[in-house]
Chain A
Amino acid sequence: MRHSFDDISAQLHKRHRRSSRLKWISMGALGLAGLFLALFFADMLNRGLPAFQQAYVQVEIDYNEDARQMGRAALEPDIAPLVSRSFERLIPGMIRDNSDLLGTTETRWVLTNSEADQYLKGHRNSLSDDEQAAIDERVDNGQVALKFNTTFFTSGDSKMAERAGILSAAVGTVMTLLVTLAIAFPIGVMTAVYLEEFAPDNRLTQIIEININNLAAIPSILFGLLGLAIFINFFGVPRSSPLVGGMTLALMTLPVIIIATRTALRSVPDSIRHAAFGVGCSRWQVVRDHVLPLAMPGIMTGSIIGLAQAMGETAPLIIVGMVAFIPDAGGSFTEAATVLPAQIFTWAGEPEQAFVEKTAGGILVLLAILIFLNATAVVLRKKFERRW
């Protein structure tokens, strides 16, 4: 029996409807995921962006005799409770260093405390009516303003929210990741080279391979426990230090780098290996001169993604003590340090309202760095993409 186009179309109708339904469902899923992402970013930006601004007030500083003992005495009484204590504390020292100051007055912009800052930004605060009136008056006179918060990027942690910054955490993150990279990259790449290019395919290497894949799926906090037990308790590496943090994260990053490297090595076609063997290369020369250079972009991409993962990791670092309170950035590799996600974790636990925006601000910085790292990985991959 022959079928006309109309017969066939009638049968096809149902199939087409089903495929279009599936298409809409999958597009809906994607849309939902995009919506969540957009909401998350909008919320973070909404909460975090104010952290990049900080309230300053223009005050008259009167370097009088009382101010030698108590800096607050140099400030006008109505505004004094609203100026950051971090500045008040500096005044006696300034007089001591330069006695000519005594008896003079000076007008300058200084940090307000976090309560005044929150009031200006319209957030919850604990200012009294009088204090609010004092600020409102100066706002009208143009003596109070929100300025770009350089303190956030140039200082370490502080108990005074208006002084708290991410610098020490950022430096700690860089040092920790340097240790991670220095350990995980060479070991990971060489392990992958051995498994992929040298090792015989037997039961032992298969077991190793399965275990490496399993390692990549182990909850990160267990690596922290391992780091605590082995590195700190057994080898006596100083706790809270970038060294121990980096070593712990290296354990976590190793399987990622090994798997990425093996994939990259496997994508180098055998014809290149044959060509190299054919002209009399030893196995190591084949790897060093031909296979590794061709696999390098893939290895770099995988390593960057592994590092980005390690950078966002908090749990194992808390276990090895990297949640320390670090006001000054830039210690050595064996001194206590903190990292960005741990700093965010610390701030998230602070009761003051001002730390809410610090937390969100820290998250924004972390996200920006992660996006930058991942974008670098994508660009690398695109740039060196090769067709065989």
Chain B
Amino acid sequence: MNIQAASQHTPQPTPNVGQPVSRNNHANHELSIRVRDLNLWYGETQALKSLNIDIFQRNITALIGPSGCGKSTFLRCLNRMNDLIPSVRIKGLVEMDGRDVNAAKMDEVALRRRVGMVFQKPNPFPKSIYDNVVYAPRMHDLVSRKPEQDELVEKALRDAGLWEEVKDKLDQPGTSLSGGQQQRLCIARAIAVQPDVILMDEPTSALDPISTATIEDLMDRLKEKFTIITVTHNMQQAARVADYTAFFHLGEIIEYNDTKTMFANPATKKAEDYITGRYG
């Protein structure tokens, strides 16, 4: 499928012409985020060109493509992190729950509460492991009493697969953990506020292969509860974990399909060349 196909406003848009080929039993075709004709400029340079894409709930969507193709920029559009860059100008629709994310009425704090983010380099707060997890829920008034907080911290850390490793040292600084553990702490921090969507910007690119595998397993479990959108440079990773894959090139989405079809039978020459390693 290509951009034209995605722009058709079908009531229940599917990424493929036929039924999307599911790779697991949790297949879900409820719409999470709808993007239509999204354009973004850094000053005079256009970085995203008329993007159209439907992101489905409780699936992993991988964004792949060569460096500088706009996948991270697109990811940051989804929780308005681009607001922090003064020169950025955005035009187009990013819709979640029937609401335009970029609308003046949309509070970016409320948006980021529902769309969490995990960054390329693990960036735990320089606080204790406990405080890293509990900080955001406390700020959003999700928990107040100490027992509630303890329960929430344990649950988030269990969901992030970190509990067994850190349960005896919750008061130690988050920065004292290993890189892979720090990244899982960041995931725990993100899921502690119970978001709908988790954005991951190359979450494993700073990690060793074993930590990477742990995070990938974790992503596979998390998608039962959360919609995950991940940027990755690692084609095998996309093939392993993603249900859907979007191929970006020079600010455009060249191809978007379920991962199996994308890798087995890419519809465009560019995607095929990239996937087979001819460039990238």
- Measured CB to CB, the residues of A under 8 A from B are 200-201, 271-282, 285, 289-290, 294, 386
Q: Kindly identify which residue among B110, B125, B186 contacts A276, using a CB–CB cutoff of 8 Å.
A: B125
In the assembled complex, 27 residue pairs joining A and B whose CB atoms fall closer than 8 Å, in A order, are A271-B123, A272-B126, A273-B84, A274-B84, A274-B117, A274-B123, A275-B125, A275-B186, A277-B112, A278-B81, A278-B116, A278-B119, A278-B190, A279-B112, A279-B189, A279-B190, A279-B193, A280-B112, A280-B136, A280-B140, A280-B193, A281-B109, A281-B139, A289-B135, A290-B125, A294-B126, A386-B126
Q: Is B124 part of the contact surface with A, judged by Cβ < 8 Å? A: yes
**Chain B 193-227 interface 0/1 with A at a Cβ cutoff of 8 Å (1 = within):** 10000000000000000000000000000000000
Output the nearest chain B residue to A201 by Cβ-Cβ distance.
Answer: B86
Judge whether B113 and A280 touch: CB under 8 Å.
yes
Within 8 A of A (CB), among B104-121: 109-110, 112-113, 116-117, 119, 121
Q: Given A200-B86, A201-B86, A274-B81, are A279 and B135 also a contact pair (CB < 8 Å)?
A: yes
Q: Given A272-B126, A294-B126, are A277 and B84 also a contact pair (CB < 8 Å)?
A: yes
Q: Total A-B residue pairs with C-beta atoms closer than 8 Å?
A: 57
Residues of B contacting A290 in the complex (Cβ-Cβ under 8 angstroms): 125
Total interface residues on B, CB under 8 Å, equals 24
CA distance A193 to B30 in the complex (A): 44
CA distance A277 to B112 in the complex (A): 8
CA distance A201 to B124 in the complex (A): 28
Residues of A contacting B181 in the complex (Cβ-Cβ under 8 angstroms): none
Output the nearest chain A residue to B120 by Cβ-Cβ distance.
Answer: A271
- Main secondary structure on A side of the interface with B: helix
Output the nearest chain A residue to B121 by Cβ-Cβ distance.
Answer: A271
Tell me, rounded to whole Å, the shortest Cβ–Cβ distance linking B171 to chain A. 17
Q: Beyond A279-B116, A280-B109: 11 further Cβ-contacts under 8 Å? A: A271-B119, A272-B123, A272-B125, A275-B123, A275-B125, A276-B125, A277-B84, A280-B112, A280-B136, A294-B126, A386-B126
Q: Which of A272, A275, A276, A285 has the most CB of B within 10 A?
A: A275
CA distance A279 to B79 in the complex (A): 10
CA distance A273 to B83 in the complex (A): 13
**6 nearest interchain CB pairs?**
A279-B136, A278-B117, A271-B123, A280-B112, A280-B113, A275-B123
Residues of A contacting B79 in the complex (Cβ-Cβ under 8 angstroms): 278
Output the nearest chain B residue to A268 by Cβ-Cβ distance.
Answer: B126
Residues of B contacting A271 in the complex (Cβ-Cβ under 8 angstroms): 119, 121, 123
CA distance A201 to B81 in the complex (A): 18
Residues of B contacting A277 in the complex (Cβ-Cβ under 8 angstroms): 81, 84, 112
CA distance A386 to B125 in the complex (A): 13
Residues of B contacting A289 in the complex (Cβ-Cβ under 8 angstroms): 135, 139
Residues of B contacting A386 in the complex (Cβ-Cβ under 8 angstroms): 126
CA distance A200 to B85 in the complex (A): 10
Judge whether B139 and A280 touch: CB under 8 Å.
yes
Judge whether A275 and B124 touch: CB under 8 Å.
yes
Residues of B contacting A274 in the complex (Cβ-Cβ under 8 angstroms): 81, 84, 117, 119, 123
Tell me, rounded to whole Å, the shortest Cβ–Cβ distance linking B200 to chain A. 11
CA distance A277 to B79 in the complex (A): 10
CA distance A333 to B87 in the complex (A): 50
